[in-house]
Amino acid sequence: MRNSRFTSLLLAGATASAALTVGAGPAVAAPSDPAAVTAPSAPSDPSGVTAASDPDGVAASPGEQDVEVFAEDGTIGRARVPAASPFVAEPFMSAAAAGDGAVTKIVNNGSTDSKLDVVMIGDGYTAAEQEKFRKDAAAKWKDISAVQPYATYRKLFNVWAVGAVSAQSGVSGDPKQSTVRTTALGSRFWCNSIERLLCVDINAVDAYAAKAPQADLVIVVANTAKYGGAGYGSTRSPLGYEGIATVAGGNAASGQIAVHETGHSLGKLADEYVAEDQGPYQGAEPPQPNLATLSADRMRKDKAKWYRWLGKASPDGGNVGAYQGGGNHPSGLNRPTDNSVMRSLGREFNLPGREAMIAGFYRHASTLTSATPTTTALKATDRLTVDLPVSGTKLRWYLDGKEVPALRDRRTIAVADLGPTGPRPAAHELKAVANDPTSAVVDPALTPALTRALVWSVTR
């Protein structure tokens, strides 16, 4: 399933009226709009799973986006909103102006090629408020990374702050619906007449995200203490990131919005909530790992979906089973647990969700890194250090394919300890193999990503 629109069709809702009112297909860029962020092309992920659960086949019109709305009580719903904002500073491409869009690394765990790079872009922060923005962004990451499995895997992430400079402080719709502020990204509450729905101009987001092209994940941090946010789950940027979450910089609870959204973008998870206006699901088996048309018995018999987790106690409470309802549909689809973060904010991922998140982290980041490039030719007098960012990771060293057991789990080794033999000019192969033995990932299709190797050449 390469095209996300077809995936939407696969998950087609039961009733035409529902399909027309609760669209969730990806927006298709108008041909006349070269700057459009959304692209009709297929996601790069070979599983072809769409970012959102896409319960019907109606794509948003050009210039529209399907977003998720997060109420204060934790419930989640959907809305269709304009992709542009009337309150964006034009032209946002003037971001090239001095001082605007400055990129700062606020959490540094290593080089971009071995880490998952989160990019936070500020909105409604003036030139004088850029330090406040970086503090708000750091606090937001603290809230997000307190949730499992982020907490265990936090060293797989870098966090970058893109300091978009806004002409005015604060964002539209705060404190009153009538409040208007011109800002770099055009953030506004009361989007679609929903007070807590915090929309942005997604082309402006993309223009600033381009300043940190390493972005794997984009979060917009708005200068407001008012609870709110949005999840642009179907947005796919030509820059490579999928989805945008918007959060209130000064509201701790809003960080959970980003956690839910990354369930889609990183975990490729579906929503587990139900929309009031949807009928029973009658489509084919959905591709996402946390929705199934199957009963628990059927999963066990067919060795399908989350059968390995059935009956196990889940971090979000209760045991993994097949709970009726999910992917917006009240029936016809089952979810793994009663109430995970993919159903309500402020909750934990369930066991299948946690497994999918860890696999998603490892699609971007590595369990083994070293400051010494593998192109370095090591000599007998050298020492070599590797980094294992995830605690509990096991490490083994191999010389010419044979393990050196004495060095097991040693992060720094002396080449002299290896005792390579043979003619002096001959090169030997030194290999470090790291494995994250976590019991949170059990699917054999996902476990290869838990092992990484680095190879150097060594001479005596």
* Candidate segments 61-69, 120-128, 136-144, 452-460, binder of Zn ion by CB under 5 A: 61-69
Give the shortest CB-412-to-Zn ion separation in angstroms. 43
Give the shortest CB-266-to-Zn ion separation in angstroms. 12
Give the shortest CB-21-to-Zn ion separation in angstroms. 18
Nearer to Zn ion, 11 or 95 (CB): 11
Give the shortest CB-323-to-Zn ion separation in angstroms. 17
Nearer to Zn ion, 124 or 353 (CB): 353
Q: Rounded distance, CA 175 to CA 395, Å?
A: 54
Q: Rounded distance, CA 44 to CA 21, Å?
A: 29
Give the shortest CB-271-to-Zn ion separation in angstroms. 4
Nearer to Zn ion, 56 or 271 (CB): 271
Site for Zn ion in 65-104 (CB under 5 A): 68
Q: Rounded distance, CA 319 to CA 345, Å?
A: 19
Nearer to Zn ion, 217 or 450 (CB): 217
* Candidate segments 64-72, 203-211, 321-329, 416-424, binder of Zn ion by CB under 5 A: 64-72
For residue 453, the cross-strand partners are 433
Nearer to Zn ion, 357 or 454 (CB): 357
Ranked by CB distance to Zn ion, the top (closest) residue is 271
User: Quick one: which H or E segment has residue 299?
Assistant: helix 296-302
For residue 303, the cross-strand partners are none
CA 44-67-15 angle, to 5 degrees, is 95
Among 56, 136, 143, 271, binds Zn ion (CB under 5 A): 271
For residue 165, the cross-strand partners are none
Q: What is the DSSP pairing of strand 242-248 with strand 229-236?
A: antiparallel
Asked if residue 260 lies in contact with residue 271, where contact means CB atoms within 8 angstroms, the answer is no
Give the distance from CA 356 to its chain's centroid: 11
Write down how long the chain is. 460
Give the shortest CB-342-to-Zn ion separation in angstroms. 7
* Candidate segments 63-71, 192-200, 351-359, 420-428, binder of Zn ion by CB under 5 A: 63-71
Give the shortest CB-231-to-Zn ion separation in angstroms. 6
Classify the C-alpha dihedral 95-89-233-231 as positive or negative: positive
Question: How many residues sit in the footprint of Zn ion (CB under 5 A)?
Answer: 2
Nearer to Zn ion, 206 or 271 (CB): 271
CA 25-22-291 angle, to 5 degrees, is 70
Q: Which spans of this chain sit near Zn ion (rule: CB under 5 A)?
A: 68, 271
